[in-house]
Structure 1
Amino acid sequence: MLVSGSPTALLDDNGVKQADALAARSGIALETLVEHAGTRVAEVAASGLPDGARIAVWAGPGMNGADARKAAELLRGRFAVTVFAYGATIDASECLPLHSYGGEPFDLVIDGLFGTGLRRPLDAVCREAVRRLADSRSPVLSIDIPSGIDARTGAVLGAAIQAQRTVTFERRRLGQLLMPGRLHTGELIVAEIGIPDGVWADVPAPADANEPGLWLDQLRHPSSAGHKYDRGHAVVFAGPLEKSGAARLAAAAALRGGAGLVTLLGKRDALAGLSAQVTAIMLRGCDGESDLAALLEDTRFNAFVLGPGFGDAAKARVFARMILRAGRRLVLDADGISAFAPEPEHLFTECHESEGGVVLTPHAGEFRRLFPEIAADPSLSKLDAAQAASRASGAVVVSKGADTVIVTPDGRAAIDATGTPWLATAGTGDVLAGIIAAQLAQGTPTFEAACAGVWMHGRAAEFFGPGLISEDLPQMLPRVHAELSAMRGG
């Protein structure tokens, strides 16, 4: 069982309930947790507001409502506080019913309607209040998670509050990183409320945030006494010359990503054209199975990228089988994934039986082609679907998107929150494949290699900023390496 002992751990509603229950068993009263939570919310709410500012507090029937009421109590006096209550006994001397909220603007609205336990769509009263709030353009501070967001999946349950800030407690929630919940969450503030550290060893965590704390100690790094062969030799298959840009992007990313050597494998009649486009990347002819078999006899070629711009589905299937049966590490992307769509079980058998690590990097369309039944199941979140796909395929699956999910067949999972909207451009997925291959070539374990590659890819985009195109990403990787080196203290 994965547990939430690390700050990277992400909780669902069951984890939150279990943490509260275990805290109570350790001697911390629920009332104490509410007092601490309300205090943290009040502190965040008060920051930046002038005395006398108008604050509306929406208090629901559960623990979020209790936290909201405590915050309101602490804010009264310094600020003009109006409490709107829903689903609880309403004391007219202290609060108003939520349905009476008419959309009047406030300097701040504290959203304490619903928290992690919400499973059903918001009812008509709440939906109308959410609509009026959006129209008012009042800034919102949500407690735990914006009301209307499913904490497990990030889905909008009928309607959801758009918060500028969210205060959550002790650990983040799945729905704060999964889309569209991440967009509704705004700036996320994690506040401690006094749950003992020992509690977290017994609290289940379905996934982790994909951050260096999760994998940095497993990442391979160049050593002063090392040489290029210690850092592995990555191989990228090139397709037709007119589509070779994708493979060249992957190869450049593999080299900048840390591989000691990188070779582009292409048809011999394309090598001259390829040579005009690369310098540090080596070239080798590969017209068919015999050429690949000869290359696989040299075990120094230890990580492969197959798919970007490859084009030939039949050859992709053959080459993938040969690599996997040789026990080498493989990133299968783009055309390499689509090549197995007619008979995915053939790929899955090879992945399950291979001694090398396999990483599949599908975008949403490729995921649907390779895992049609899983993709068609509306009951599955993106995390659920990726986990089902990983179990079925026997590979580490990187389900790409704004909320990229990385999962293993044994249940480990990470959700990424790096990157910018500018990554939605041609070729960035090819770069990601190359960065992951670089970590595999250096000997990083498969899950950690995939996680690190995704994070490095996103950070490179953040370093570049607006106007990004795929060619820019490899050039940003030295800055990413420097950042990771500083984190290691070296």
Structure 2
Amino acid sequence: MPTTRLPTALYRADQVRELDRLAIEVHGIPGATLMERAGAAAFRVLRARWPESRRLGVLCGSGNNGGDGYVVARLAREAGLEVTAWQVGNGPRAGGDADAALARLRAAGVEPVGFEAGAPVDCDLLVDGLLGTGLDGPVEGVWAAAIDALNDSGRPVLALDIPSGLHADTGAVLGRAVAARVTVTFIGLKQGLVTGAGPGRCGRLVYDDLGVPAAVPAALGPSARLLDADDHAAWLAPRPRTAHKGDFGHLLVVGGAPGMAGAARMAAEAALRAGAGLVSLATHPEHAALVAQARPEIMAHGVDGVAALAPLLERATVVAAGPGLGRSAWAWALLEAVLDSGRPLLLDADALGLLVEAPRERSDWVLTPHPGEAARLLGREAAAVQADRFAAAAALQARYGGVLVLKGAGTLVQGPAETPGVCPAGNPGMASGGMGDVLGGIIGALLAQGIPARVAAELGVCLHARAADAAAAAGGERGLLATDLLPHLRRRVNP
């Protein structure tokens, strides 16, 4: 049955094709049956989401994705809807499952009409059955025109399995892609649906296993997995009544060059809200008194050089360096001392920029770049990072070690020799200054509390995103501030 509760296992397109094969050849479910189930699942979602729609338009390609579209069109006609089906391309292969679905559509009284570029697609609701998961090159010609027609229609679009034009493995747009209001995906959740351009193109994502036995997906190891803070809930168990601040670590935040005190303060305050026992801030001397006055729980120290930083490093459990650090000689000297301190580290923002100039590898740090920072760390363009975020995260982890957090829509967490995790939570309101500083403080605090690096990164990313979603629900996405997350964060670290 369709569900918005998504499975955690993610797969590449070739793996999903193998799942199809196993269902058909090993478990004896005919391909035509799977196609009927897919179309029926999509039609149920369509009727539940748009019950008032009476005029349905379905754009069908030449493969099995088009076959699913034929089924939806037939079921709609049988339910009394006015249906127009457009055939894009040459039509299905003779004798295949899609060809049989087309014959049943014709028997129901719907004859597909050929699609022509520029032709109107004027219906209450449109269904994208154009291109499936096998797409691996730029969308051109009549296919591009059909996608443009869907996107320019002004009508809601339901995508079957994947929005046409979206790469199933990377989440990249292959020239152009359908912007769906809802996407119903089948059998195996494709990893490209949940990161990069995927979330924006999919709209609401609904999953249906098509009644395939659980043994089918269990036969293949997933290529990635969806993250959920609940998976790590044991690390957020109630604290013992005899607890004291020394039990929960001492995080040192290093940052805040002249004019950039806010970033360091937000990281430090987020660390306190995420449960660190003690938080110190090593910042430029001109900021220390202001930070202490605004948030006295932060032990703010004015640091004019390495000598002043040394005793703070000695007392710290973990160091989070980078928020507002800048790239001056002062910043470089502090970062070198941090790198030489022997403490577990989280590096973000300007610390990553300085790392570009002097690359090194460590096993005991967490790096949290956004796509632009990731591109500089890899010596490539940001567009190349976004074109394949999974590959970029793996390359960064291999080059720099530790645990890598690639921020953005569908934030990735990549550890050494581990299946990457993808965070499905979060919202566009997070595209504002300071969000990364808050995330760095959260992960730093979890590290300071003794949580292993990979778990701290996964849990921190999920807590951050969930807090942002709660803050957006309370007041809207536009105008969301990084500090708006803090009260919601506190509630989420106390489940």
* Higher alpha-carbon deviation: 245-254 or 164-173: 164-173
* Alignment match, 2:430: 423
TM-fit CA distance, 1:28 = 2.7
* Higher alpha-carbon deviation: 218-227 or 164-173: 218-227
* Alignment match, 2:34: 33
* Alignment match, 1:103: 120
* Alignment match, 2:442: 435
* Alignment match, 1:3: none
Could you say what secondary structure the match of 1:341 adopts? helix
Instruction: Give CA-to-partner distance per residue, 1:365-389, whole Å, 9 cap, x none.
Output: 3223222148585795122112111
The one-letter code matched in structure 1 to 2:32 is E
In structure 2, distance between residues paired with 1:202 and 1:221: 37
The one-letter code matched in structure 2 to 1:258 is G
The partner residue of 1:339 within 333, 343, 354 is 354
* Alignment match, 1:42: 43
Structure 1 167/268 Cα, relative in aligned 2: closer, same or farther at 3 Å? closer
In structure 2, distance between residues paired with 1:23 and 1:480: 40
1:473 corresponds to 2:489: no
TM-fit CA distance, 1:193 = 0.8
In structure 2, distance between residues paired with 1:180 and 1:289: 43
Which runs of 4 or more aligned residues in structure 1 lie more than 6 Å from their structure 2 counterparts after TM superposition? 90-93
Structure 1 276/379 Cα, relative in aligned 2: closer, same or farther at 3 Å? closer
The one-letter code matched in structure 2 to 1:233 is H
The partner residue of 1:145 within 151, 162, 170 is 162
* Alignment match, 1:372: 379
Instruction: Give CA-to-partner distance per residue, 1:228-279, whole Å, 9 cap, x none.
Output: 2222221112444543221111110000011122112246675434432321
1:14 corresponds to 2:29: no
CA contact (8 A) 2:161 2:183 kept: yes
Instruction: Give CA-to-partner distance per residue, 1:271-328, whole Å, 9 cap, x none.
Output: 4344323211223465544554444444xx3121111122355555555555555542
In structure 2, distance between residues paired with 1:336 and 1:16: 40
In structure 2, distance between residues paired with 1:403 and 1:49: 27
The partner residue of 1:167 within 169, 184, 208 is 184
* Alignment match, 1:382: 389
The one-letter code matched in structure 2 to 1:265 is A
Instruction: Give CA-to-partner distance per residue, 1:85-141, whole Å, 9 cap, x none.
Output: 233258777432442582131122221121111112233112222222333322211
CA contact (8 A) 1:220 1:439 kept: no
Instruction: Give CA-to-partner distance per residue, 1:15-56, whole Å, 9 cap, x none.
Output: 211211222313333233222212211211222556882222
1:88 corresponds to 2:91: yes
After TM superposition, list the pairs within 5 Å mapping 1:455-466 onto structure 2.
455-465=462-472, 466=476
CA contact (8 A) 1:374 1:385 kept: no
TM-fit CA distance, 1:416 = 2.5
TM-score of the pair, normalised by structure 1: 0.86
Structure 1: runs of 5+ lacking an equivalent:
1-5, 486-490
The one-letter code matched in structure 2 to 1:81 is V
How many residue pairs get aligned? The number is 468
The one-letter code matched in structure 2 to 1:473 is L
In structure 2, distance between residues paired with 1:432 and 1:50: 41
Identity between Structure 1 and Structure 2 (%): 38
The one-letter code matched in structure 1 to 2:214 is D
In structure 2, distance between residues paired with 1:266 and 1:122: 51
Could you say what secondary structure the match of 2:136 adopts? coil
* Higher alpha-carbon deviation: 51-60 or 426-435: 51-60
CA contact (8 A) 1:258 1:439 kept: yes
CA contact (8 A) 2:371 2:386 kept: no
TM-score of the pair, normalised by structure 2: 0.85
TM-fit CA distance, 1:415 = 2.3
Structure 2: runs of 5+ lacking an equivalent:
1-5, 93-101
After TM superposition, list the pairs within 5 Å mapping 1:438-457 onto structure 2.
438-457=445-464
Instruction: Give CA-to-partner distance per residue, 1:47-80, whole Å, 9 cap, x none.
Output: 2556882222222222222222223332322222
The CA RMSD over aligned residues, in Å, is 2.8
* Higher alpha-carbon deviation: 194-203 or 382-391: 194-203
After TM superposition, list the pairs within 5 Å mapping 1:170-249 onto structure 2.
170-217=187-234, 222-240=239-257, 242-249=259-266
In structure 2, distance between residues paired with 1:99 and 1:290: 73
The partner residue of 2:407 within 372, 393, 400 is 400
* Alignment match, 1:409: 416
1:77 corresponds to 2:58: no
